[in-house]
Copies of this chain bind each other. A is one copy, B any other.
Amino acid sequence: MSDLLERLRGRGWRMTAQRRVVAEVLDGDHIHLTADEVHARAVAKLPEISRATVYNTLGEMVSLGEVIEVSTDRRAKRYDPNAHRPHQHLVCARCGAIRDVHPVGNPLSDLPDSERFGFTISDVEVTYRGTCPNCASA
């Protein structure tokens, strides 16, 4: 039983086979799958699950704050079950590998008042891009 599923159950979610497999697919570290990747893996466990249900379920998990949406590439959104520890992302420009990373300090302090244009800033998103050791050695 995944932690994610455990938390969702605790919120009074009606438990269905479809929701269970979506939660199972998202279980693990450094998981950042697109909706269609989640669908493909879910179909392997429950062949009749539909695309719409995967999209719906992911959307609900996001609304509940149990999954976050990540847009590291400029293609599909990715779904990240690591919603309870703030973190940023490190992306390999070659192969697309994504790692969770935890920078030190408060990135907000790097932005002087003169550069805030009167905005109230509530969130900072950081994406580090580079080459992973695997791609570097190839």
- Establish whether residues A90 and B125, one from each chain, have CB atoms under 8 Å apart when the complex forms: no
Q: How far is the CA of A108 from the CA of B88 in the complex (A)?
A: 12
Q: Which 10 residue pairs spanning A and B have beta carbons closest together?
A: A118-B133, A121-B130, A103-B110, A123-B129, A101-B115, A119-B130, A125-B127, A120-B131, A71-B74, A120-B130
Copies of the polypeptide in the assembly: 2
Q: How far is the CA of A126 from the CA of B131 in the complex (A)?
A: 18
What are the interface flags for A105-138 relative to B under an 8 Å C-beta threshold, 1 for contact and 0 otherwise? 1011011100111111111111111111100100
Question: A residues 63-104 with Cβ under 8 Å of B?
Answer: 69, 71, 74, 77, 90, 92-93, 99, 101-104
B residues less than 8 Å from A115 (CB atoms) = 90, 101-103
22 A-B interface contacts by CB (under 8 A): A71-B71, A90-B111, A90-B121, A101-B116, A103-B115, A104-B110, A104-B111, A105-B110, A118-B136, A119-B128, A119-B130, A120-B131, A120-B136, A121-B129, A121-B130, A122-B129, A122-B130, A123-B128, A123-B129, A124-B129, A125-B126, A125-B129
